Structure 1
Amino acid sequence: MKKCTNKTFVSTLLALLFSVALLLSGCGAADGAKLEAKVKSAGKAEASDIKMALPSMNASYLPLFVAEANKLFEKNNVKVAFTKVQGGVIALRGLQTNEFQIISSLPESVITGVAQGADIKMIGTLDDHSMYSIYATSDIKSPKDLKGQVVATNRTGNGTDIQLRWWLKNNGLAPDKDVRIIEAGENSTRLQALVSGQAKLTILSQPTDLKAEASGMHKLALMRDELKSYNHNMLMANGQFLKENPDAAKGFMAAIAEATEYAKKPENREEMVKLIMGKLDMGEEDAQKSFDFVLPALANQGKINRDGVEWAIETTKETGMLKGEVTTKELIEEAYITE
């Protein structure tokens, strides 16, 4: 056997040392990557859970659909679970008990609730115009044709009823005098009151307005053409939740702001229509109509129309439903809106 020369021995040793160095370097990099991942994971706060009640399901909730579909809530470190409830009264009741941390609602019921001591705040809005339309049977051509007739409302004193009564007055009719008002419940049953002949006119939101047209009813008025200042789907939060989780409320509103901006971009129209189709099990033509109806009313950054809140306060007071005084300062908390 031949002996290794010094030169050969040195070369072999150097190669061995180089291999060991590479191995150690690889292990170090892997360990470093794991450590970095752990640090990042430890530094990120756990996402806050928010339960949100929706008293209906329609295209007005488009910013919520967009935020959910594009994971904008997760991006802003909140996890939002939606629950469909039967009407705003149930949603409000759940908000007061903190069963729900946020709800979408007309402003009038919250105004009366806060006046009675409820710990609730308006933190934003999905839209800053009314989403209602006035529909009538084919024989009612103008408001004057309603004298002596019956009109259908939801429930006396709620936001829907207040808007309907305002519209009647705005068109020269005295509620409960020139016209008789009956309680018919939610959108679908109010429409049925027209179809069955129980009433000649009612107030509807989409997508029931599309069903009204398909049933032979006609749109007598678009509320936003007459009622210039309003917030339809307001975002209300439980006061205790806001005190304990201010960052979660800010994250929620940041997601709404980004979602609204995304929905308004013309290049995203087709995507929005498809989203509405999927969420509401709606055909493309109806989804396009719903999108076109909702789009002009979406509120930038979720900002509240303060004149609309003032209108709601005064009109609720006129109906006698508001007992005592309440101010916008008591109602609105805009600190959570992203500028």
Structure 2
Amino acid sequence: MKTIGISRLVVTLFMGLALALVSCTAAPAPSKPAEAPKQEPKQVVKEEPKPAPTQAPKAEPKQQAKEEPKPTAKPTPKPQVIKMRAAYAAVDASFLPLWVTKEAGLFEKNALDVELLFVEGGTKVMQALIGGDLQVAGIGGAPLVSAALGGADVVQVATGAPVLPYKFVTVASINEPKDLKGKTVGVSGFGSASHFVTVLALQEFGLKPDEDVTIVQTGGLSARLSALQTGANHGTVLSPPILYITEKMGLKVLGDLTEMDVSIEQGALAVNKKYMRENEEAVRRFVRAFTEGIHYLKTQKQFSVNVMKNYLKMEDAAALDEAYEFVSKKATAKAKAPYVTEKGMRLLLEQNSNNPKAATANVKDFYDNRFVKELDDSGFIKKLYGE
């Protein structure tokens, strides 16, 4: 019995040990949750399909809008074309800048529709300007000053040829100035540029106009030349290119006025002051086109010679070439910026000394350089000449 009891005791102890062992091996189970942190890398954001911060610039769909072409700016509307009527007073080369401006399309370039007419004689042109038939007059300064002293509301705004483009031509029997005493000299009209220049020349010769010499109204260049050929007149002033054919006719050049150090407003532009006040932009465009015309004349010889040939209806190539050289290199030498000169206008006033108003007149009332000055100050003229 004791043996059995011992055996049971042993069995009981063995089973207790087994249970203890089982409990010992099961004890680590609760520690498994502690291993969870080892699996945390699977939770790292890196593995999620979120873009890395450094990749953000690649996703720029919204920024593409900046690269899209901007709406095209509306084109600046073309200026409204202004119609104007202008006239020149003589068929001589001093008006070549005006002719070239017209024929080269420079008025159209400046949004002007200009009808250019020939009205013989500065006095007649001034009458048309004063009467409103013209908006711009191409004249010498002399008829403008005479008209203004007479009360006309006119002003000069540019000068294309600020020199005397004349020579005093006589019949073959006149050998020296004193031979003109008691003779007849022709001008286009009283108060015209040719009249002013004739008086100036006679004074230079030491003669008294209207005392020593009779001055008569004869007409334009062709009419005055014909009067010399027929002997109706004994002398007159002529300008290029007709001037260059006088020697072939047996006529004499008594004096070269182009060599005189005289500033004169020749080939000038005049306007009605009232029109200028009400149509300032029109006058501005006209002066700008005229300034371009002077440059075009100086740089486009063959074109300019052809224009002169057509306007003068002359075929003499040598005379045309000489006329071009004179106008391009001498007559317009100081006209890149076609300012009206105070010296020239003052001289014109002095020649009107028989008019009491001339003594008290303010010379600056006869010209307005604002439009030329605008072009000059803006650099427009320097750009034209590449300066």
Q: TM-score range by the shorter chain?
A: 0.7 to 0.9
Counterparts in 2 of 1:174 and 1:68: CA distance versus 1, 3 Å: closer
Determine the structure 1 residue equivalent to 2:13: none
- Give the aligned partner of residue 320 of structure 2: 287
Partners of 1:79 and 1:285 in 2: CA distance: 34
Q: Which has the larger radius of gyration?
A: 2
**8 Å CA contact retained: 1:253, 1:336:** yes
- Quote how far apart the aligned CAs of 1:44 are: 1.9
| Structure 1 residue 157, shift from structure 2 partner | 4.1
User: Who is 1:304 aligned against?
Assistant: 340
For the residues of structure 1 that align with 2:190 and 2:92, how far apart are their CA atoms?
Answer: 23
Contact kept, 8 Å, 1:96 with 1:120, in 2: the verdict is yes
Superposition deviation, residue 46 in structure 1 = 0.7
The match for 2:96 among 62, 73, 81 is 62
SS at 2:309 equivalent: helix
Query: Alignment partner of 2:246: what SS?
Result: helix
SS at match of 1:99: coil
Once the two structures are overlaid, the 10-residue window that deviates more, 128-137 or 139-148, is 139-148
Cα distance in structure 2, aligned partners of 1:226 and 1:121: 26
Alpha-carbon shift at residue 271 of structure 1 (Å): 3.0
Question: SS in structure 1 opposite 2:79?
Answer: coil
Among all aligned residue pairs of Structure 1 and Structure 2, give the percentage whose two residues are the same amino acid. 25
| Contact 1:53-1:85 at 8 Å conserved across structures | yes
Q: 1:333 aligns with which of 365, 368, 386?
A: 368
Match of 1:152 in 2: 186
- Describe the shift of the 1:205–1:321 C-alpha distance in structure 2 as closer, same or farther (beyond 3 A): farther
1:193 aligned onto 2:217: no
* Structure-1-length-normalised TM-score: 0.80
Shift of 1:282: 2.3
Which amino acid in the other structure matches residue 124 of structure 1? Answer: A
Q: Does structure 2 conserve the Cα–Cα contact (< 8 Å) formed by 1:246 and 1:336?
A: no
Correspondence for 2:142: 108
Q: Give the deviation of 1:102 after TM superposition.
A: 0.3
Contact 2:305 2:320 in 1 (8 A): yes
Compute the TM-score of the two structures, normalised by the length of structure 2: 0.71
Q: Deviations over 1:164-221 (max 9, x none)?
A: 1221121111223333333323322222222122332211223332443332212222
Higher relative contact order (CA 8 A, sep 6+): 1
Alignment pair present for 1:255 and 2:289? yes
Equivalent residues of 1:111, 1:326 under 8 A apart: no
Superposition deviation, residue 108 in structure 1: 1.9
Q: 1:129 aligns with which of 155, 160, 163?
A: 163
Residue deviations 1:98-139, cap 9 Å, x none?
211001112222112222322211100111012221001223
Matched, 1:229 2:263: yes
Q: Secondary structure at the match of 1:258?
A: helix
- Corresponding residue number in structure 2 for 1:138: 172
In the alignment, structure 1 segments of 5+ residues that lack a partner are 1-31
Map Cα deviations across residues 268-324 of structure 1 (whole Å, 9 max, x no partner).
32332233223333222221121122221112222212211110111122x448667
Contact 1:128 1:230 in 2 (8 A): yes
The 2-side partners of 1:273 and 1:214 are apart by 21
Unmatched 5+ stretches in structure 2: 1-70, 377-387
Look up the SS of the partner of 2:253 in the other structure: strand
Match of 1:177, SS?
Answer: coil
Aligned length: 301
What is the match of residue 239 of structure 1? 273
| Residue 315 (1) aligns with residue 351 (2) | yes
User: How far apart, CA to CA, are the structure 2 residues paired with 1:143 and 1:336?
Assistant: 42
**How many Å separate the matches in 1 of 2:132 and 2:184?**
39
Match of 1:269 in 2: 301
Alignment check: 8 A CA contact 1:162 1:316 kept: no
Q: 1:189 to 1:277 in 2, by over 3 A?
A: closer
CA distance in 2, matches of 1:89, 1:148: 27
Which string of whole-angstrom CA distances, capped at 9 and with x for unpartnered residues, describes residues 207-243 of structure 1? Answer: 3324433322122222121252111121001112211
Partner of 2:55: none
Segment drifting more, 241-250 vs 276-285? 276-285
Equivalent residue for 2:39?
Answer: none
Name the SS for the 2:237 alignment partner.
strand
Distance 1:100 1:242 in 2: 12
Q: 1:83, 1:222 → 2: CA distance?
A: 30
> 145-154 or 81-90: which moved more?
145-154
**Residue identity matched to 2:320:** A
Paired with 1:122 and 1:48, the residues of 2 have a C-alpha distance of 20
Change (3 A) 1:274 1:321: farther
Mapped to 1, the partners of 2:200 and 2:356 lie a distance apart of 14
Alignment partner, residue 23 of structure 2: none
Q: Secondary structure at the match of 1:302?
A: coil
1:259–1:180: structure 2 CA closer, same or farther, 3 Å change rule?
Answer: closer
Please name the residue that 1:6 is paired with: none
Distance of 2:94 and 2:144 partners within structure 1: 19
CA RMSD of aligned residues (A): 2.4
